[in-house]
Amino acid sequence: MRNRSIFLMTALILGFAFLYIPIFSLIFYSFNAARLATVWGGFSTKWYFELFKNEQIIDAAILSLQIATVSATVATVFGTMAGIVLTRFGRFRGRTLFTGMITAPLVMPDVITGLSLLLLFVAMELTFGWPSGRGATTIGIAHITFSMAYVAVIVQSRLAAMDESLEEAAMDLGSRPFRVLIDITLPLIAPAMLAGWLLAFTLSLDDLVIASFTSGPGASTLPMVIYSKVRLGVTPDINALATIIITVVTVGVIIAGIAMHRREKQRLRDMQMAASGNS
Amino acid sequence: MATAPGHRLSDRVANLWRAIFLVVPYAWLLAFFLIPFVIVLKISFAESLIALPPYSPLFQWAEEATLQIKLSFANFLYLTEDNLYWYGYLNSIKIAAISTVLTLIIGYPMAYGIARASSTWRNILLLLVILPFWTSFLLRIYAWMGMLNREGVINNVLIWLGLTSEPIQMMNTDFAVYLGIVYSYLPFMILPLYSTLERLDLNLNEAAMDLGSRPMRVFFDVTLPLSMPGIIAGCLLTFIPATGEYVIPALLGSPSSPMIGRVLFDEFFYNRDWPVASAVAVVMLIVLVAPIMFFQYLQSREAGAAR
């Protein structure tokens, strides 16, 4: 018994070291005055200033944030609809195809999704003249398509774990289905929708391959700019960019974690109150 | 109930809402997920042309209004002739398979350790597993470039320790690709494993112990078989995307050991041969369809069991 817990502790420590050492080294070298990673040229924040002077990176970051915001929002609406269809609609014709199309994007290699969407956009342009050229719109459509699958799966698992009796009770009390959806179902799955939105947002910000296929000459997203810089070798201003992203994400995740912890505690307290009130 | 007409109206409204909920995501997925694959399939049977789009039409109205369908298998034959493609597919499957096994070996004890931790620690550790996943994937691969370089962190440490006098070539090798894949996909392995391990009934372990099994035997006879759904889900979530991986081999791997995702990308962007790129994608899909179908089958079975 004791041996096992020592083994598991070691596995955890080594595993987390493996996950975090590269990230810490990145942060460390972002404050290095020297250009090469080998030499420590003293503490400096010059790469951060360099980064803010780089208009190409700033523009790409703004474009990426715009695409991510729009595509995450649309993907959350569509994905939530799909999740509700999968858990609450029972059997309908074409259900197998629907389930297949929802789960396949989760595992589909990016190169295939990217290639097939590009060929679609080219065919569409030839047939109806829309979209003329490729850019933010086509990247957005591509991102909605693959991230709605993630939203649908998150919403679906929340709905499957949820008691249907609340919705049935509301129906029995005379609520119309639409009211039940607005007053009962949506508030209950709101945390899952938020989680889905955040996931869709980060997936869109992170995507390189699909964006490269579906983008045109005028539109470069942040990963596309980073990739073209990184291919040429190690560039210190990317260290600074990575450090900023890691800091923002870490702060965000910690705040979300604390908020969720509080809510969970509150819920437990409410349940206890309700239970003691009943007895 | 006196409000029969009202009910009928609300029924109609309800049906309308149901229809909207069903039709909107369905239509979107048909248009932007299924139809694109049909187009890829179509173009893979077309002939290469120099003009834009660089492929020939499949259907042609010949004289006397008969529909002529021209299917060209040239692209698929071309794939079998050139060793690059064979090698690309086999190399991808090999690299993805070995990386998946390595990810499982590293991820299983971690998932198990998290599942057995106290509830406060469990949440913190889970958060630590997910955190790198939220930060950019590309930047984490870039972090490894800084680690693996000739002048990188690892070589510096090795030389400082006196383990080697010359820097070791780690960048642009298969080793770097394995490392990159294991690193990037570790969260995808740990999370499904954790969710099955956490749900395991510890009474079964105790029962086995009471019946005289040693801890190792308990693990192999009880815990491991019961965590099979998590193992399968984690392996598929790693293996399938790793097979088509483009970024990791392009940044960390060597040009002499191409993976098929990279072959497809280059075929499309540098050779601009759309029909051959499509044929590469079709064959890749066929190779991956079996595990994808299996994954779906498992999911539908699990959904059935949860009901």
- The verdict on a CB contact (< 8 Å) between B136 and A145 is no
Residues paired with residue B60 on neighbouring β-strands, in sequence order: B68
In whole angstroms, what is the distance from residue B26 CA to residue A20 CA? 41
- Tell me how far CA of residue A104 lies from CA of A62, A125, B273, B279, in angstroms: 30, 26, 26, 20
* C-alpha torsion sign, points B246, B250, B255, B256: negative
Measure CA of the first residue to CA of the last residue in chain A; give whole Å. Answer: 42
Confidence (pLDDT) at B108? 95
- Tell me how far CA of residue A196 lies from CA of A47, A72, A251, B167, B194, in angstroms: 34, 8, 19, 45, 20
Confidence (pLDDT) at B66? 55
| Count of Cβ atoms closer than 10 Å to residue B57 Cβ | 11
Q: How many percent of chain B have pLDDT more than 70?
A: 85
In whole angstroms, what is the distance from residue B93 CA to residue B288 CA? 10
Nearest to A111 by CA among B104, B170, B212, B281: B281
CB B140 within 8 A of CB A22: yes
State mean pLDDT over A94-116. 88
Exposure string over A150-182, b if 16+ CB within 10 A, otherwise e:
bbbbbbbbbbeebeeeebeebeeeebbbeebbe
Task: Say yes or no to pLDDT of A271 above 60.
Answer: yes
Task: Say yes or no to pLDDT of B50 above 60.
Answer: no
State mean pLDDT over B79-97. 88
- List pLDDT tens digits, range B148-167: 988 888 888 888 888 888 88
Confidence (pLDDT) at B71? 64
H helix intervals, chain B: 4-29, 35-44, 74-81, 83-116, 119-134, 137-148, 153-161, 174-199, 202-210, 215-218, 224-226, 228-243, 247-252, 260-269, 274-306
Question: Please, which residues 56-85 of chain B have a Cβ atom closer than 8 Å to chain A?
Answer: none
Q: Is B200 on the interface with A (CB under 8 A)?
A: no
Question: Chain B interface, mutation test: which of A2, A6, A19, most B Cβ atoms within 10 Å?
Answer: A19
- The verdict on a CB contact (< 8 Å) between A25 and B153 is yes
Q: In B, which residues are within 8 Å of A206 by CB distance?
A: 136-138
- The verdict on a CB contact (< 8 Å) between B145 and A231 is no
Task: Say yes or no to pLDDT of B80 above 90.
Answer: no
Q: Which carries the bigger pLDDT value, residue B10 or residue A194?
A: A194
* Cα of A84 vs its chain's centroid, Å: 20
Confidence (pLDDT) at B62? 46
Q: In A, which residues are within 8 Å of B149 by CB distance?
A: 37, 234
Task: Say yes or no to pLDDT of B193 above 50.
Answer: yes
Q: In B, which residues are within 8 Å of A241 by CB distance?
A: 139
Contacts of residue B126, Cβ cutoff 8 Å, sequence gap at least 6:
B114, B194
Task: Say yes or no to pLDDT of B112 above 80.
Answer: yes
What band does B76 get if pLDDT is binned at 50, 70 and 90?
A: confident
In whole angstroms, what is the distance from residue B151 CA to residue B139 CA? 19
Q: In B, which residues are within 8 Å of A185 by CB distance?
A: none
**Which of A171-185, A211-225, B3-17 is the most confident on average?**
A211-225
Confidence (pLDDT) at A140? 96
Confidence (pLDDT) at B3? 45
State mean pLDDT over B112-122. 89
Q: Is B114 on the interface with A (CB under 8 A)?
A: yes
Confidence (pLDDT) at B86? 86
- The verdict on a CB contact (< 8 Å) between A109 and B288 is yes
Comparing alpha-carbon positions, the chain B residue that sits nearest to A180 is B14
Report the mean per-residue pLDDT for chain A: 87
Q: Is B36 on the interface with A (CB under 8 A)?
A: yes
3-state secondary structure of A163: coil
Q: In B, which residues are within 8 Å of A215 by CB distance?
A: none
Task: Say yes or no to pLDDT of B306 above 60.
Answer: no
In whole angstroms, what is the distance from residue B167 CA to residue B159 CA? 7
Residue A208 has its nearest CB partner, among B134, B247, B268, at B247
State mean pLDDT over B161-182. 90
- The verdict on a CB contact (< 8 Å) between B244 and A112 is yes
In whole angstroms, what is the distance from residue A42 CA to residue A181 CA? 59
- List pLDDT tens digits, range A211-254: 999 998 888 999 999 999 988 877 888 889 999 999 998 898 88
**Which of A84-88, A156-160, A185-189, B27-31 is the most confident on average?**
B27-31
Q: Is B151 on the interface with A (CB under 8 A)?
A: yes
In whole angstroms, what is the distance from residue A83 CA to residue A105 CA? 15
Per mean pLDDT, which range of A32-46, A107-121, A175-189 is the poorest? A32-46
* A131 prior amide bond cis, ω within 30: yes
What band does B6 get if pLDDT is binned at 50, 70 and 90?
A: low
Report the mean per-residue pLDDT for chain B: 83
Confidence (pLDDT) at B1? 42
Q: Is B255 on the interface with A (CB under 8 A)?
A: no
3-state secondary structure of A67: helix
Q: What is the identity of the amino acid at B238?
A: T
Confidence (pLDDT) at A38? 63
- List pLDDT tens digits, range B264-287: 988 888 877 888 888 899 998 888
| Apex A28 CA angle, B152 and B167, nearest 5 | 10
Distance from CA of A160 to the nearest CA of B (A): 8
Q: Is B112 on the interface with A (CB under 8 A)?
A: yes
- The verdict on a CB contact (< 8 Å) between A104 and B33 is yes
Tokens of B101: 């096994």
Q: In B, which residues are within 8 Å of A85 by CB distance?
A: 21-22, 25
If you compute the radius of gyration of chain A from its CA atoms, what whole number of angstroms results?
Answer: 24
- The verdict on a CB contact (< 8 Å) between B136 and A245 is yes
Confidence (pLDDT) at B303? 63
Tokens of A124: 């569409």
Confidence (pLDDT) at B55? 62
Distance from CA of A81 to the nearest CA of B (A): 5
Confidence (pLDDT) at B114? 94
Q: In B, which residues are within 8 Å of A81 by CB distance?
A: 20-22, 24-25
Confidence (pLDDT) at A74? 98
Q: In A, which residues are within 8 Å of B21 by CB distance?
A: 81, 84-85, 89
Task: Say yes or no to pLDDT of A127 above 80.
Answer: yes
Task: Say yes or no to pLDDT of B186 above 90.
Answer: yes
Residue B134 has its nearest CB partner, among A16, A202, A238, at A202
Element spanning B69, H or E: strand B67-69
Q: What is the identity of the amino acid at A252?
A: G
What band does B7 get if pLDDT is binned at 50, 70 and 90?
A: low
Using CA atoms of A92, A98, A100, A102 in order, give the dihedral in degrees to the nearest 10.
Answer: -140
Confidence (pLDDT) at B54? 52
- Tell me how far CA of residue A240 lies from CA of A245, A266, B101, B149, B249, in angstroms: 9, 39, 34, 19, 24
CB A58 within 8 A of CB B225: no
**Which of A130-144, A173-187, B215-229 is the most confident on average?**
A130-144
- List pLDDT tens digits, range A30-87: 888 877 666 677 888 888 988 888 899 999 999 999 999 999 999 999 999 999 999 8
Per mean pLDDT, which range of A9-13, A267-271, B131-135 is the poorest? A267-271
Place of tokens 């179902």: A185
Q: In A, which residues are within 8 Å of B250 by CB distance?
A: 231
What band does B61 get if pLDDT is binned at 50, 70 and 90?
A: very low
Q: In A, which residues are within 8 Å of B25 by CB distance?
A: 78-79, 81-82, 85, 98, 102, 148, 152
- List pLDDT tens digits, range B288-302: 887 777 766 776 776
If you compute the radius of gyration of chain B from its CA atoms, what whole number of angstroms results?
Answer: 26
Contacts of residue B17, Cβ cutoff 8 Å, sequence gap at least 6:
A177, A178, A181
Q: Is B127 on the interface with A (CB under 8 A)?
A: yes
State mean pLDDT over A5-19. 92
Q: In B, which residues are within 8 Å of A102 by CB distance?
A: 25, 29
Confidence (pLDDT) at B68? 53
Task: Say yes or no to pLDDT of B57 above 80.
Answer: no
- The verdict on a CB contact (< 8 Å) between B21 and A26 is no
| Apex A10 CA angle, A9 and A15, nearest 5 | 100
Distance from CA of B63 to the nearest CA of A (A): 24
ipTM of the complex as predicted: 0.87
Confidence (pLDDT) at A128? 82
H helix intervals, B135-227: 137-148, 153-161, 174-199, 202-210, 215-218, 224-226
Confidence (pLDDT) at A1? 46
Q: Which carries the bigger pLDDT value, residue B205 or residue B11?
A: B205
Confidence (pLDDT) at B297? 76
Confidence (pLDDT) at A278? 57
- Model's pTM, two decimal places? 0.86
Confidence (pLDDT) at A151? 95
